[in-house]
Structure 1
Amino acid sequence: MNSYKHPNESRVVSTDQVLINDLNNYNTLFGGVLMKKLDNNATLSARRHARVKECVTASTDSIDFLHPIRQSDSVCIESFVSYTGNTSMEIFCKVIAEDMITGERKIAATAFLTFVALDSNKKAVKVAPIVPESTEEKFLYESGEKRAAMRRKRREHSKELTQIIGLEKPWERGDIYVC
């Protein structure tokens, strides 16, 4: 698989309204609600790029909440493959909040998620590399190796951490008192 793809081929755009059940006690969109929307969009971008039935989230590298999203806003999520490894795909997501009354738009959040495409035996498959076209795509692609290196380092740290942290339930350790 050496054929290149353009980020635009994996682009997914979804727009939704903010409902009252999506709001927290500050009358802004719950972060978890937005995280679910991001994961759904990013999954479709990964599947569109890899053209497989199943892609799994390998990591959510970052979600930066930049501006609160209110009930009067619509939420537009745009996602696309911004960088690829051998079997992994980094998906960039941007969230645009638009005040439906005034028409004012703001970047409400950005996120990077990493996915792996799977074959019918649940084994990772190679994915096509990308050739960025727009200024935004080129910037994300050129900084992609740096983010991939940070992911590898963070993953190594997580593996070390799993060797230290215990599997006991807190109330079974004897050093923690449950009220």
Structure 2
Amino acid sequence: MQEKRQRTVRESQAERSEVIFPGDANGLGNLFGGRLMQFIDLVGAVAAYRHARATTVVTASMDSLDFVAPVHVGEVLILKASVNRAFRTSMEVGVKAMVEDPKTGNLRHVSSAYLTYVAVDDSGHPVEVDCLVPETEHQKRRFDDALKRREARSGEVERKKRLRKSLENAWYI
């Protein structure tokens, strides 16, 4: 087994920009929430790939997705992602979505999300990832908060397992 190395948050940061077109929007001219989720997942995966340096990463969960404001046709969507914390085989990635007004350059926050990715090998088995070293106070706070969210999620995972077990014979689920 190869020795774990340390990576900084800066080494894995990712950014993506998209111009929003009518095909991305609903009848009101607002970006579909599902399309925004897709963009968030894609930029988050890039940050996870950069940190893990694995063959692939898979999305394990997306939580705390907040739609703060709509994104309109013609606006420029800017998404920024960084790894908040790395665990044994998984990583929590934070993504912030902003809209840039193309005429003024002003930025508006429209969404934030936390995603968990797992690094896997060619057979789909989880592989260990490198340690994350936060450098700034902001990164250290995000690093600490990621552990709290992970602990909260672990209780939720057990609750969902019990729920699935109780509903396994239900025809309507």
Under TM normalisation by the shorter chain, which class is it?
over 0.9
CA contact (8 A) 1:19 1:71 kept: yes
Q: Which residue in the other structure is 1:72 paired with?
A: 74
Which residue identity is paired with 1:88? S
Q: Please, which runs of 5 or more residues in structure 1 have no aligned partner?
A: 174-179
Q: Which residue in the other structure is 2:61 paired with?
A: 59
Which residue identity is paired with 1:56? V
1:91 aligns to 2:110 (yes or no): no
Q: Which residue in the other structure is 2:10 paired with?
A: 8
CA–CA separation in structure 2 for the residues paired with 1:36 and 1:75: 13
Larger Rg: 1
Residue identity (%): 31
TM-score (norm 1): 0.89
Instruction: Describe the superposition over 1:70-96 as per-residue Cα deviations: whole angstroms up to 9, x where unpaired.
Output: 113100111111111111100110101
TM-score (norm 2): 0.92
CA contact (8 A) 1:45 1:80 kept: yes
Q: 1:44 aligns with which of 36, 43, 46?
A: 46
CA–CA separation in structure 1 for the residues paired with 2:55 and 2:66: 29
CA RMSD of aligned residues (A): 1.6
CA–CA separation in structure 2 for the residues paired with 1:134 and 1:34: 29
Instruction: Describe the superposition over 1:8-40 as per-residue Cα deviations: whole angstroms up to 9, x where unpaired.
Output: 111111101000111112221110000001111
CA contact (8 A) 1:72 1:101 kept: no
CA contact (8 A) 1:46 1:55 kept: yes
Q: 1:27 aligns with which of 29, 33, 42?
A: 29
SS in 2 for 1:5: strand
CA–CA separation in structure 1 for the residues paired with 2:23 and 2:121: 37
| Total equivalences in the alignment | 171
